[in-house]
DNA sequence: CGGTCGTAGTTCGAATTCGAACGACGAGAC
DNA sequence: GTCTCGTCGTTCGAATTCGAACTACGACCG
């Protein structure tokens, strides 16, 4: 088929998405570092564990949720384990499996970092939108995510 | 003030935004690598140069546009210079300045990579949205970007 | 002119990321 | 059982990123 370039609105949407994503992650990292030693990937990791049943997850499952490589996850879990925020546990039902478990100290670190993190997310995205716009954002990007997860994953 | 957590809609919007951003960048990188040696940051860099007047930009200006550090930009421009896609040029009006200039070969590389890149962006984001949703996305994320750029930049 | 302050781009070391290769285990065919 | 295939988590080397320190230059004041 003929190449379909992006028209003006499409281009605005795409570039705004890309820029906002980069700028927001940059700002979040900056805030977390000032707040006291967590990076954005680490915050995300702890959050996923906190929301998981039993506050624990299989490594492979966690890597998928965080959209990172298995080797990258191994690295971050090791870092967080050294810091005492996460511990590794054997998986009862599968001897190959490793469970990453949130520790009490990890929960504390999350609670300590959350207010500043949420403030940045609110100030620079959430609170700029009204209710309809928020719903549209959740719906449209939710559909994109579903599409990206279901389609050829590699 | 009391801590304001995210309600259900806010959380859906934020998580969808984060996930989609990660997944889309991952997919774009995968596609570009299969297509033949450009990374997403490199594609972005070449695109900005192609859109700039004279197909050239000051290093500092380019770093701001790409939301990257000055040292990171130095590295990427050096890589692209080795590949012949970009060349450095002295800045006439400011002896401190360096201009990154898109070469003819760089333009060719961009034209070669663009169709596959656009296809991924369309399939996984743009073409999933109707016209109103696209406009909303462009407007809301455009406002977020403006806010992020104007507010305390560090 | 000399002095001071801010900016431009690079260099350096440290941290993080990825993909490929590896060893260990589970699932099923036979 | 044993063979084969796929998955799980880690290790390894290479590539990329950042922030801090550095040098060179512009702008402004006296």
Instruction: Please give the Cα distance from B80 to B106 (Å, whole number).
Output: 8
Report whether B125 contacts A110 (CB < 8 A).
no
Q: Which nucleotides of D are covered by protein (CB under 7 A)?
A: 6-13, 16-21, 24-26
Report residue A31 as tokens.
């805030």
Rounded to a whole number of angstroms, the distance from the CA of B83 to the nearest CA of chain A is 25
Q: At what angle do helices B40-51 and B70-82 cross, to 10 degrees?
A: 90
Tokens of A96: 């190959």
Res B154: pLDDT: 39
Report the alpha-carbon distance of residue B110 to residue B99 in Å, rounded: 19
- Which pLDDT score, from 0 to 100, does residue A149 have? 93
Q: What is the pLDDT of residue A5?
A: 86
Q: Looking at residue B46, what is its pLDDT?
A: 98
Beta bridge partners of A43: none
Q: What is the mean pLDDT of each run of 10 residues along chain B (154 residues)?
A: 79 96 96 90 98 97 97 98 97 94 97 95 96 96 95 54
Contact B28, B120 (CB under 8 A): yes
- pLDDT for residue A2 is more than 60: no
Q: Quick one: pLDDT at residue A47? A: 97
Whether B89 has its CB under 8 Å from any CB of chain A: the answer is: no
CA distance linking residue A41 with residue A21, whole number of Å: 14
How far is A12 from B95, CA to CA, in rounded Å? 35
- pLDDT, tens only, B104-139: 999 999 999 999 999 999 999 999 999 999 999 999
Residues of chain A neighbouring B29 (CB-CB closer than 8 A): none
Q: Residue for token digits 């984060």? A: B18
Q: Is the pLDDT of residue A85 over 70?
A: yes
- Provide the pLDDT confidence category of residue A152 given band limits of 50, 70 and 90: low
As beta bridge partners, residue A102 has A86
On the 0-12 / 13-18 / 19+ scale of CB atoms within 10 A, B8 is exposed
What is the CA angle A25-B32-B38, rounded to 5?
85
Which residues lie across from B79 on neighbouring strands?
Answer: none
Cα(A77)–Cα(B34) distance, rounded to whole angstroms? Answer: 30
Residues of B in contact with A124 (CB under 8 A): 144, 147-148, 151
DSSP, collapsed to helix, strand or coil, labels residue B130 as coil
pLDDT attached to residue A154: 39
Question: Which tens digits make up the pLDDT trace of A108-146?
Answer: 999 999 999 999 999 999 999 999 999 999 999 999 999
Query: How close is the nearest chain A Cα to the Cα of B12, in Å?
Result: 6
Q: Residue A15, Cβ neighbours under 10 Å: how many?
A: 18
Q: Give the pLDDT score at A18.
A: 97
Distance CA(A10)–CA(A15), nearest Å, equals 9
Give the C-alpha separation, A139 to A143, whole Å.
6
pLDDT recorded at residue B3: 66
Q: What is the pLDDT of residues A11-69, one digit of tens each?
A: 999 999 999 999 999 999 999 998 888 999 999 999 999 999 999 999 999 999 999 99
Chain B residue numbers touching A18 (CB-CB < 8 A):
44
DSSP class of residue B138 equals H
* Contact with chain B for residue A44, Cβ under 8 A: yes
Both structure tokens of B71: 């040292």
């Amino acid at each position: 088929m003929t190449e379909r370039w992006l028209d003006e609105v499409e281009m605005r949407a795409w570039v705004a998405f890309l820029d906002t994503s980069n700028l927001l992650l940059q700002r979040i990292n900056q805030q977390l570092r000032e707040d006291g030693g967590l990076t954005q990937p680490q915050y995300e990791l702890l959050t996923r564990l906190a929301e998981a049943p039993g506050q624990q997850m299989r490594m492979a499952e966690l890597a998928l949720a965080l959209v990172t490589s298995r080797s990258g996850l191994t690295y971050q879990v090791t870092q967080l384990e050294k810091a005492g925020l996460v511990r590794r546990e054997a998986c009862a039902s599968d001897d190959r499996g490793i469970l990453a478990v949130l520790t009490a100290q990890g929960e504390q670190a999350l609670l300590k970092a959350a207010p500043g993190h949420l403030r940045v997310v609110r100030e620079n995205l959430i609170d700029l939108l009204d209710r309809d716009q928020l719903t549209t954002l959740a719906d449209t990007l939710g559909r994109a995510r579903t599409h990206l997860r279901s389609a050829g994953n590699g």
